[in-house]
Amino acid sequence: MKCYPVPRENLVLSIDNLKDDIPEEYLSHKECYENVIRKGSVLYDIFSELSKDRKHKAHQAPSNAYRISDGIMQNVNPFLLHFALFVPAITNQATPEQQAEFLKHGFGIIGTYAQTELGHGTFLRGLETTATLDLETDEFVLNSPTLTSYKWWPGGLGHTANHCVVMAQLYVKGKCHGPHLFFVQIRDIETHEPLPGLKLGEIGAKMGFNTADNGFLGFHNFRIPRNNMLMKNSQVLKDGTYVESKNEKLTYGSMVFVRVYLLSDMAYMLARAATISVRYSAVRHQSHIKPDEPEVQILDFVIQQHKLFISIATSHAFKICGLWLWQTYSKVMEDIGKGSMDRLPELHALSCCLKTTSTRDAGWLIEQCRLACGGHGYLMSSNLPSLYTTATAAITYEGESTVLLLQTARYLIKSWKRAMEGESLPATVSFLSEYFNKRYNKWENTPKGIVDGLKLVVAGVTKMCAESIQKHVSRGQQYEEAWNSSSVQLIKASEAYSRALLCEVFWFEVDKVSSTLSNNLAVVLKQLAELYITYWALEKRGDLLVYTTISKDDLDKLQERYEELLALIRPNAVGLVDSFDIRDEILCSTLGAYDGRVYERMMEHALKSPLNAETVNQSFHKYMKPVILKHKI
Ligand SMILES: CCCCC/C=C\C/C=C\C/C=C\C/C=C\C/C=C\CCCCC(=O)SCCNC(=O)CCNC(=O)[C@H](O)C(C)(C)COP(=O)(O)OP(=O)(O)OC[C@H]1O[C@@H](n2cnc3c(N)ncnc32)[C@H](O)[C@@H]1OP(=O)(O)O
Ligand SMILES: Cc1cc2nc3c(=O)[nH]c(=O)nc-3n(C[C@H](O)[C@H](O)[C@H](O)COP(=O)(O)OP(=O)(O)OC[C@H]3O[C@@H](n4cnc5c(N)ncnc54)[C@H](O)[C@@H]3O)c2cc1C
């Protein structure tokens, strides 16, 4: 996977014409798009220059530096798909010769990843776009046979990209070989006009992501060279011979990359929301704790700490687990490069449930941060509304959450069956064997004890799912029907598995490095990790009571410890969000600026509203005054 050198923050933030005179929320839909293209083009130019000087580092661990662009854009970058999916799809799925050919223009082309259609997003085998081999001309003919087969949603497709990687059903000599990827130019490089045989446009305003330029694309007998099929894993030869892939799911590899990346991405989204809401909570004084004392910082309310500190801890949890998952991804990609695909199912299962949990948690936690800021959190200038709509889009894109959790459940059930047959299991699911063989310990009120307890919940729910499926089958249902009948519990098993993974990796990674850290830092990181684990033990107390030997007394002690941790973290709370080191220009928040001048910034921002350009808006004279005068008594 090529990674793009990321421009240093100072370099990017020092560029004058990247600043907005009018806040984006006061621009029209069209002006918004034109504005991000203006800024994105400057960024793109910087990326191009920088990439000429430095070698691309393959398999570079996720870094959120590319989110500088979000700070500059104050919204989603329409070029993001080029980097997030278009280039990775080519580097993962094309032969070296094709990569050299397709990427020879480097930043000279702008691409996107066109897979989802109006009629299908989840069920990829149901995609309707066709790519049919024409033996005589050595070309593929692309068609959108129905309205529902139009590509719909790809970022940058509407008016930005001039190329895309298209997922289409491959037809050779009348036989369908399933979804494959194709490199397609869609606009003229010089004029940017759509090429003949294409229908292109944007899909309209959305809840957020409104600068992503999500678009639609229809093909009408559109021809591309045969060599434009990405042929690293499977090939179509000149004589029409189809050489199938060692694993047909390798075609889906680009989605795994983004799912893995999203864990780190959500860590960064949460870091921003936590920074804004904790800093604001240190500035905002409201109400009393002791009646005879001055109004307090709202951060001194324990319930405010309960709302916000979990976001600080979760950001670190996702960052640490994101790097752990990235290392797994890199190792599996390396193995695949050597011809071994043994761990691909495990990586798929891990990426599905962790992508789902991280995006869902980021959504509700950012909303919780907003709500904790009262009315001012509802202002666009706080940036919390935009963070929310941007984060929650990820619950759907790159694999809808329910669908991905069912994928992980599929892996858990298969692993449970292997445990029952005495097979050895990968470390990430080996606890299923221990549970099956009744090798587990009594409850302990320690972080490790909680992690072990959460794993027992996973094993217990997985066992219950397997028994439920078996029960439905024994009553005459086909396996797929029995699976569907048990899907509520299957989702629960995957959710529990994801939570146990996050708690285990967070705690043990922190524990592992703590000896290398200064004592103060180790203490604070361990407090955050313990807060995270204890928070979720209390949230899942019902399951723990069902599947472990935890007692009511243990739970009371956990609640007490949780509240102790809130008090221990309180003195470091502002320092902890400052340590996320997110500059004001990237935070883009009147509530979260480093200098704490909240009220002055709110007023400065309000005065930028176009409505405040005059004391009386023309609508008074045009519309209100006639009515007032007419009904004046
Ligand atoms: C200039 C400034 C910018 C600079 C930027 C610089 C750098 C940026 C770099 C990176 C950024 C990265 C991320 C940034 C953040 C966000 C990205 C930006 C925007 C959003 C993009 C969104 C893009 C999309 O949404 S693309 C479309 C996504 N669509 C999906 O995910 C579809 C979901 N559906 C599926 O995956 C499948 O259809 C299915 C649900 C799995 C079902 O498929 P099916 O064939 O029915 O499979 P089945 O259930 O029968 O299982 C069969 C078998 O296959 C295995 N399987 C399935 N999928 C996979 C897989 N992906 N990998 C491996 N194995 C897979 C499955 O386990 C089964 O196996 P088995 O039979 O059980 O053994
Ligand atoms: C902001 C944004 C950006 C996007 N960017 C891109 C992009 O760049 N490129 C691209 O190709 N796509 C993109 N997408 C599309 C995205 O990948 C799809 O929306 C996603 O895969 C879900 O597919 P769908 O919308 O067709 O929902 P469907 O697949 O129709 O699912 C709808 C609902 O049906 C239920 N459901 C579906 N299947 C199952 C099942 N098997 N079991 C149980 N329940 C099920 C779920 O509740 C699901 O939410 C983007 C989407 C968004 C929102």
Ramachandran angles phi, psi of 479, nearest 5°: -55, -45
| Residues counted in the chain | 633
pLDDT over 90 at 603, yes or no: yes
From atom 59 of ligand 1, which residue's Cα is the shortest distance away? 249
Report how far residue 135's alpha carbon sits from residue 276's, in angstroms, rounded to the nearest whole number.
60
Ramachandran angles phi, psi of 141, nearest 5°: -105, 120
Q: Among 17, 21, 87, 74, which residue's Cα sits nearest to residue 45?
A: 17
Torsion of CA 471, 474, 475, 476, to 10 degrees: 130
pLDDT over 50 at 6, yes or no: no
Supply the pLDDT for residue 439.
83
> Boundaries of CATH 2.40.110.10 in the chain?
5-252
pLDDT over 80 at 17, yes or no: no
**Ligand 1 center to 529 CA (angstroms):** 30
Q: Which ligand is nearest the CA of 7, by number?
A: 1
For residue range 307-317, what is the model confidence (pLDDT) as tens digits?
999 999 999 99
Query: CB of 88 closer than 6 A to ligand 1?
Result: no
Supply the pLDDT for residue 24.
87
What confidence tier does 5 reach under pLDDT thresholds 50, 70, 90? very low
Supply the pLDDT for residue 56.
43
Report how far residue 460's alpha carbon sits from residue 453's, in angstroms, rounded to the nearest whole number.
10
For residue range 258-300, what is the model confidence (pLDDT) as tens digits?
999 999 999 999 999 999 999 999 999 999 999 999 999 999 9
Q: Which ligand is nearest the CA of 179, by number?
A: 1
Contacts of residue 90, defined as CB under 8 A and 6 or more positions apart, other chains included, come to: 98, 99, 102, 103, 111, 165, 183, 230
**Ligand 1 center to 264 CA (angstroms):** 17
Q: Where are the alpha helices (DSSP H) in 116-249?
A: none
Query: DSSP assignment of 17-82, as one string?
Result: GGS-SS-GGGS-HHHHHHHHHHHHHHHHHHHHHHHHHS---TTPPP-GGGGHHHHHHTS--TTHHI
Which of 82, 255, 260 gets mutated to test ligand 1 (max ligand atoms within 8 A of its CB)?
Answer: 255
Q: Which ligand is nearest the CA of 209, by number?
A: 2
Supply the pLDDT for residue 74.
74
**Ligand 1 center to 59 CA (angstroms):** 18
What is the percent of the chain where pLDDT is above 70? Answer: 95
C-alpha angle 98-104-105 in degrees, rounded to nearest 5: 135
* Secondary structure element (H or E) that encloses residue 142, with its range: strand 139-143
Residue 233 · residue 244 · CB < 8 Å:
no
Query: Can you give the three-state secondary structure of 515-574, one letter per residue?
Result: HHCCHHHHHHHHHHHHHHHHHHHHHCHHHHHHHCCCCHHHHHHHHHHHHHHHHHHHHHHH
From atom 23 of ligand 2, which residue's Cα is the shortest distance away? 121
Supply the pLDDT for residue 440.
82
The CATH class, in words, for 255-426+435-577 is mainly alpha
**Ligand 1 center to 322 CA (angstroms):** 17
Supply the pLDDT for residue 52.
64
CATH architecture of residue range(s) 5-252: Beta Barrel (2.40)
> Boundaries of CATH 1.20.140.10 in the chain?
255-426+435-577
Report how far residue 504's alpha carbon sits from residue 521's, in angstroms, rounded to the nearest whole number.
20
Report how far residue 525's alpha carbon sits from residue 507's, in angstroms, rounded to the nearest whole number.
9
Q: What is the mean pLDDT of residues 560-581?
A: 98
Q: Which residues are annotated as a binding site?
A: 116, 155
Q: Where are the alpha helices (DSSP H) in 135-219?
A: none
pLDDT over 50 at 59, yes or no: no
**Ligand 1 center to 344 CA (angstroms):** 13
Q: Among 357, 366, 377, 308, which residue's Cα sits nearest to residue 576?
A: 308
What confidence tier does 105 reach under pLDDT thresholds 50, 70, 90? confident
pLDDT over 80 at 16, yes or no: no
Q: Which residues are annotated as a binding site for FAD?
A: 116, 155
Supply the pLDDT for residue 604.
96
pLDDT averaged over the chain? 93
User: What is the atom index within ligand 2 of the atom nearest the CA of 120?
Assistant: 26
Q: Among 46, 55, 45, 40, which residue's Cα sits nearest to residue 9?
A: 46
Residue 198 · residue 268 · CB < 8 Å:
no
pTM: 0.96
What confidence tier does 46 reach under pLDDT thresholds 50, 70, 90? confident
Q: What is the mean pLDDT of residues 62-91?
A: 79
From atom 40 of ligand 2, which residue's Cα is the shortest distance away? 403
For residue range 425-460, what is the model confidence (pLDDT) as tens digits?
999 999 999 999 888 889 999 999 999 999 999 999
Residue 500 · residue 527 · CB < 8 Å:
no
Q: What is the mean pLDDT of residues 492-518?
A: 96
Annotated catalytic sites, by residue? 398
- ipTM score for this prediction: 0.97
Supply the pLDDT for residue 3.
41
Query: CB of 5 closer than 6 A to ligand 2?
Result: no
